[in-house]
C-alpha cells in the first residue's frame, strides 16, 4: 500500500477514535458535571446507574487515540505532550478521582459527600482541560525543528478558556440527553426542562468560537469562502440543533441524544475541514508527522485491521445488550 494511502488511513482512524471518545466518554463526563447539580442522593444514584456499565469502556477510545498518535504520528505526539504537560496531568488526576469516587461512594456513608464532590470536580476538570487543549491547538502551537517551542502555560489563553467552557457545556448537553434516554421519573422530567438551556448555551459559544477562528486566521477564512460546500457542516449542526429543539415536546427519549450527537458531528467536521490536512494548524501536516511507511504498514495489519474493529464490535455489543432504562 502506498505511503499516502496509509497516512490518510491512520489519520482517519485516529480522527474516528477521537470522535468516538468525545460522544461516548463525553456523555458520562457530562453526567458527572450534572451530578453536582442533582437534587438529592436518589437522583445521584440514578445518574451513576445510567453510566456504570459503560464509563470505563468509553475511555478505551482515548487510549487508542494516544497509542495511535504515538505509533503512527510520533511528531504530533512529541509536540503535543510538552505543550500540554499540565493539562494532561490534570486530566489524568480528574479521571482517577472519577473512578475512585464512583467506587468509594458506595462504601462510605459519613464521607459520601466527599466522593460525590470528587466525581463532580473530576468530571469538570477533565472536560475543561480537554476543551482548552482543543482551543490552543486551533490557535496553533509554536513549533521549531519538529519540537514544541513554547512555554508551559501557553495553553492558557482567552480563546482556549472559552473553548474549555464550551466543551463543559457540550458534554453537559450530551450527559442530559443520555440521562433522558436511560432514566424515567422525576429526574427525567427535570432534565427535559433544562436541556433547551444547555443547547442555547452550547450554540452561543460555538457561534462565538467559529467567528473568532475566522477572524484570527486568514487562511481558515479563505478556505471556507473559497470552498462554499464546507458550509454544509455548520448547516448540519444547525439542523441537528433545530431537530433537538422541536423534538423536546414530543418526549421521544432516544431523540435528544441522537440530535446532540448530530450537533457534535457537525461541529467536529467543521473543525476538521478548517485545518485539513494539518494535524497541528498550520505547522505540521499529516505527511510531515507520519511514521515511516514500514511502521504504518505493520500497524495497518495489527491495530488497524484487528484491534480497532474488535473494540468497535464489543462496544456496540455492550450498548445493545444493556440498552433500556435503569
pLDDT one-digit tens code per residue, 6-39: 888 888 889 999 999 999 999 999 999 999 888 8
Is a pLDDT exceeding 70 seen at residue 3? yes
Distance (Å, whole) CA 216 – CA 139: 8
pLDDT one-digit tens code per residue, 64-82: 888 888 888 888 888 888 8
C-alpha torsion sign, points 280, 284, 287, 292: negative
pLDDT one-digit tens code per residue, 204-233: 999 999 888 888 888 888 888 888 888 899
Work out the pLDDT band at 172, boundaries 50, 70, 90. very high
304 vs 93, more confident: 93
Per the CB < 8 A criterion, the answer to whether 245 and 173 are in contact is no
Q: Is 289 helix (H, G, I), strand (E, B) or coil?
A: helix
Give Cα 306 to chain centroid, integer Å: 24
Mean pLDDT taken over the chain: 88
Distance (Å, whole) CA 304 – CA 297: 9
Whole-angstrom CA distances from 191 to 102, 116, 186, 251 are 22, 19, 9, 11
Mean pLDDT of all residues in 162-177? 94
Give Cα 140 to chain centroid, integer Å: 19
Is a pLDDT exceeding 70 seen at residue 309? yes
Is a pLDDT exceeding 90 seen at residue 40? no
Per the CB < 8 A criterion, the answer to whether 143 and 280 are in contact is yes
Domains (range + CATH), the chain: 3-321 (1.20.1630.10)
Mean pLDDT of all residues in 71-99? 89
What is the pLDDT at residue 262?
94
258 vs 296, more confident: 258
Distance (Å, whole) CA 44 – CA 106: 12
What is the pLDDT at residue 130?
93
Mean pLDDT of all residues in 120-136? 93
Mean pLDDT of all residues in 29-56? 88
Distance (Å, whole) CA 213 – CA 233: 15
Mean pLDDT of all residues in 138-155? 83
Percent of the chain with pLDDT over 70: 100
What is the pLDDT at residue 33?
94
What is the pLDDT at residue 296?
85
Class of residue 89 by CB neighbours under 10 A (exposed 0-12, middle 13-18, buried 19+): exposed
pLDDT one-digit tens code per residue, 244-285: 998 888 888 888 999 999 999 999 999 888 888 888 888 888
Is a pLDDT exceeding 70 seen at residue 1? no
What is the pLDDT at residue 20?
92
Amino acid at each position: 500500500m502506498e505511503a499516502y494511502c496509509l497516512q490518510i488511513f491512520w489519520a482517519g482512524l485516529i480522527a474516528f477514535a477521537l470522535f468516538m471518545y468525545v460522544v461516548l466518554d463525553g456523555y458520562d463526563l457530562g453526567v458527572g458535571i450534572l451530578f453536582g447539580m442533582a437534587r438529592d442522593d436518589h437522583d445521584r444514584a440514578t445518574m451513576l446507574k445510567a453510566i456504570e456499565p459503560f464509563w470505563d469502556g468509553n475511555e478505551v477510545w482515548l487510549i487508542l487515540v494516544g497509542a495511535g498518535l504515538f505509533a503512527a504520528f510520533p511528531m504530533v505526539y512529541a509536540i503535543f505532550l510538552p505543550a500540554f504537560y499540565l493539562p494532561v496531568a490534570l486530566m489524568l488526576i480528574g479521571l482517577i478521582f472519577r473512578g475512585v469516587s464512583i467506587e468509594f461512594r458506595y462504601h462510605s456513608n459519613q464521607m459520601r459527600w466527599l466522593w460525590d464532590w470528587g466525581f463532580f470536580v473530576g468530571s469538570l476538570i477533565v472536560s475543561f482541560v480537554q476543551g482548552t487543549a482543543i482551543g490552543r491547538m486551533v490557535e496553533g502551537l509554536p513549533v521549531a525543528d519538529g519540537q514544541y517551542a513554547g512555554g508551559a502555560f501557553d495553553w492558557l489563553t482567552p480563546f482556549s478558556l472559552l473553548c474549555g467552557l464550551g466543551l463543559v457545556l457540550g458534554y453537559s448537553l450530551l450527559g442530559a440527553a443520555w440521562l433522558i434516554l436511560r432514566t424515567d421519573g422525576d429526574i427525567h422530567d427535570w432534565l427535559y426542562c433544562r436541556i433547551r438551556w444547555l443547547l442555547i448555551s452550547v450554540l452561543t459559544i460555538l457561534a462565538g468560537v467559529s467567528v473568532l477562528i475566522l477572524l484570527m486566521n486568514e487562511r481558515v477564512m479563505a478556505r471556507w469562502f473559497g470552498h462554499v460546500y464546507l458550509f454544509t457542516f455548520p448547516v448540519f449542526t444547525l439542523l441537528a440543533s433545530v431537530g433537538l429543539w422541536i423534538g423536546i415536546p414530543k418526549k421521544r427519549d432516544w431523540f435528544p441524544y441522537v440530535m446532540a450527537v448530530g450537533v457534535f458531528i457537525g461541529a467536529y467536521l467543521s473543525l476538521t475541514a478548517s485545518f485539513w490536512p494539518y494535524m497541528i494548524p498550520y505547522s505540521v501536516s499529516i505527511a510531515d508527522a507520519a511514521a515511516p511507511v514500514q511502521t504504518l504498514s505493520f500497524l495497518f495489519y495489527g491495530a488497524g485491521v484487528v484491534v480497532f474493529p474488535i473494540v468497535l464490535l464489543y462496544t456496540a455489543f455492550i450498548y445493545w445488550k444493556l440498552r433500556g432504562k435503569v
